[in-house]
Amino acid sequence: MTTFNDLHEYAWAPRVGSLRLSPDGSWLALVVQTVGDTPAKYLTSIWRVGTEPGSRPVRLTRGAEGEGGPEFLPDGSLVFVSRRPDAAAAAGPDTPAAKDSKTALWLLPAGGGEARRIAAPGGGVEAVAVARDAGTLVYSAPTFRGTAVGDEDAAMRKARKDAGVSAILHESGRLRYWDHDLSPEQLRLLAADVPAPAGPGEEADAGLAKPRDLTSDPGRALDEQSFDLTPDGHAVVTGWVVPEASAEERSEVVVIDVATGDRRALLSEAGLDYGDARVSPDGRLVVAARTTHETYDRPSDVTLVVTPLAASEPRDLLTGFDRYPSEAVWAHDCGSVFFTADDEGRRPVFRVDLASGEVTRLTEDHGAYESLCPAPDGRSLYALRSAIDEAPAPIRIDLGDAAADPVRLASPGASFDIPGRLEEVSTQAADGTTIRAWLALPAEATPDAPAPLVLWVHGGPVSSWNDWNWRWNPWLLAARGYAVLLPDPALSTGYGQHMIERGYTNWGGTPFTDVMAITDAVVARADIDSTRTAMMGGSYGGYMANWIAGHTDRFLAIVSHASVWALEQMFGTTDGPAFWRRSFGDFATRPERYLENSPHLHADEIVTPMLIIHGDKDYRVPVGEALRLWWDLTSRSKQVKLLYFPDENHWVLKPGDVEVWYATVLAFLAEHVRGEAWRQPELLS
């Protein structure tokens, strides 16, 4: 157990990120994030945890640059991705070879021993999939356009480096994604068999796989796409981005023959995105997510479809299921599919029967589940579970006993003493819709000692407050005496398509009145001090912070992180402008929605002190939003501070910066909500 009283302790706490189940179902490979290196940064390692309660977690990898992406071979060996260099490691971590090392694919034998490199393409390895029966490997690797994998790609890589060239010539499509430029390299899928170790006296490279290029010139088709292998290793099923006219694009699911590289479309239709495809354990079927493109008149919608691998015959698995499914995985008998979906402030596990279409909810608690791993005997389902008041940890669900609580397994991740209590609250909006929220209350909040309130609006905007969040954690505020309100207004998932439609392209309308209504209901409580309230949010929550600042003076302070300020500007400079054009229209011909919903048009009305926070590497909401917000407020002599991170992105991902982020926010709230003197965090100048 740890506490929230020490920001350093919180930022340095170990965090479980994902898990995989061994082929025999006896243990889980957990990816755990800890702090290492100097300067401090988050690194991941792989741990072993038995599937029976009481087992002791054992750390399996200790690379200086971290490891991730674990997948199992049929014999129980573990393959993973790591930047640990062979030769450079002996020379020391500060050598040029070590600093320039790329991610490679490593294998940890089932019987134990040292890990060895099995694939090391020049551009590194992005992700890997394994054929569950054959053990065939397919991995994605960045390679330069117009070059063959291997020597040609290496020659181009060396020539650019020697010439000091980093320039990129774009001719179509996206330029950036979240926090990185889309480089002249393109992802390709490479297939290989697991190589034998290098023999005595042989060079280390003798033990590397001899890959086969399955996608010789994919362009940007494999960017951010997942892939899966048939059990026999004969075919890979992958997402594939298709460029369209007017800078639009859609995603389809294709099947690639591993022996020949021949590709055919399996799921493809105009106006739809298909992705996250998974092949059934018997190799006959494919389940995938299907998302309709949003239009000017309606938001997108999501369902799961199933089709035979041999032919494109998609069937909607979730007819009438009014939630957004995610993370579909097959039951081992191929008769059903497990998935998760946001549902009224939770993220339960569901099972859909292929024959009947019946959907069954498997978890009834207030938890949020992910990383679903069905056991091979069909009796259990393993997953990570978290909640607003509980950090992620591995659990086991008994599929034969619907009434049984999930079994908690050992975990190397941190757990916390929660400094207060969590309550569920709700109110009615003007149109009769129920608006619900979580309310994190400090332990000392009573009618005799009411707590100040911080309204915290989630990002997305199509998302929900339902799980543990390391970046947006209310308990750090509760530990300092604040009550924190976490509402799900219009546009939130987990309440059906109607809830999303209520706020679609009406960002400053219904979502705003929803959060004001739930705030009104909460400040009416005797244990809340209605005279001391603040508001904060990030991404879309930052948009709402800016909108609220221009439309009410009820709050004493507002924190706006990675926020949208000028809609026309942001929608044209973000990493995916086509999405926004579909829903808001082209500003040149249909400016109405921009003018109705852009916070920057209400700068004159802002009177509340604001703290702006932004990272320069944020390409989803580019830093120009913060720069313009800063100018628009300072040029009007408003009370404002700007916390700027030159090398952070949409989130804040370095432990030292996380600590500074919270320290600054807490100091800002203390000054304006509690009336304390401003105390600048020590490491800020």
577: CATH? 3.40.50.1820
Q: State how far the alpha carbon of 635 is from the alpha carbons of 409, 450, 627, in Å.
A: 56, 37, 12
| 309 assigned to some structural domain | yes
CATH of the domain at 289: 2.120.10.30
Angle formed by the axes of helices 510-523 and 540-549, to 10°?
80
Q: In terms of C-beta density within 10 A (0-12 exposed, 13-18 middle, 19 or more buried), how is residue 655 classed? A: buried
pLDDT at 127: 97
Does 364 lie in the same domain as 342?
Answer: yes
Do residues 424 and 382 share a domain? no
Written as six digits, the tokens of 460 are 């997305």
Residue 678 lies in a domain: no
- Between strands 176-177 and 137-144, the pairing is unpaired
Residue 2 lies in a domain: no
Instruction: For residue 414, tell me if it sits in a domain.
Output: no
| 203 and 85 both lie in a single domain | yes
How far is Cα 538 from Cα 661, in angstroms, rounded to an integer? Answer: 12
* Of 365, 416, 420, 375, the residue nearest 392 (C-alpha): 416
Residues 302 and 272: their CA atoms lie apart, in Å, by 10
Q: What is the pLDDT of residues 291-347, one digit of tens each?
A: 999 999 999 999 999 999 999 999 999 999 999 999 999 999 999 999 999 999 999
**Whether residue 213 is found in the same domain as residue 276:** yes
- At 75, list the tokens: 């014999």
Phi and psi (nearest 5°) for 513? -65, -30
Regions of the chain with pLDDT less than 70:
1, 86-100
> Do 121 and 212 reside in the same domain of the chain?
yes
Domain count of the fold of the chain:
2
> Which residues are CB-contacts of 420 (< 8 A; sequence separation ≥ 6)?
440, 441, 442, 443, 445, 475, 478, 479
Domain that residue 343 falls in: 7-408
pLDDT digits (tens, 9 = 90+) for 246-281: 999 999 999 999 999 999 999 999 999 999 999 999
Residue where the block lists tokens 């992802």: 187
Give the per-residue pLDDT at 99. Answer: 47
374 and 449 share a domain? no
* Same domain for 469 and 361: no
Reported as type and span, the H/E element at residue 264 is strand 263-267
Instruction: Indicate whether 463 and 403 sit together in one domain.
Output: no
SS3 21: strand
Residues 440 and 308 reside in one and the same domain: no
Are residues 284 and 188 part of one domain? Answer: yes
Residues 393 and 447 in one domain: no
pTM for the structure as a whole: 0.95
In this structure, is residue 682 part of a structural domain?
Answer: no
Task: Please name the amino acid found at residue 452.
Answer: P
Lookup: tokens for 316: 């909607």
Among 374, 408, 442, where does a domain finish? 408
In a domain, 684, yes or no: no
pLDDT of res. 89: 44
Report how far residue 303's alpha carbon sits from residue 421's, in angstroms, rounded to the nearest whole number: 35
Name the strand (E) or helix (H) holding 561. Answer: strand 558-561
Over 398-452, what HEC string results? ECCCCCCCCEECCCCCCCECCCEEEEEEEEECCCCCEEEEEEEEECCCECCECEE
CA 613 to chain CA centroid, nearest Å: 20
- Is the same domain home to 403 and 430? no
Q: Does 602 fall in a domain? A: yes
Question: Rounded CA gap, 282 and 461, in Å?
Answer: 38
Of 354, 383, 408, which marks where a domain is finished?
408
What pLDDT, on the 0 to 100 scale, is given for residue 421?
97
Evaluate whether 648 touches 617 at the Cβ level (below 8 Å): yes
The two tokens of residue 68 are 């991730």
State which of 408, 431, 463 marks the end of a domain: 408
Does 413 reside within a domain? no
Q: What pLDDT does 200 receive? A: 84
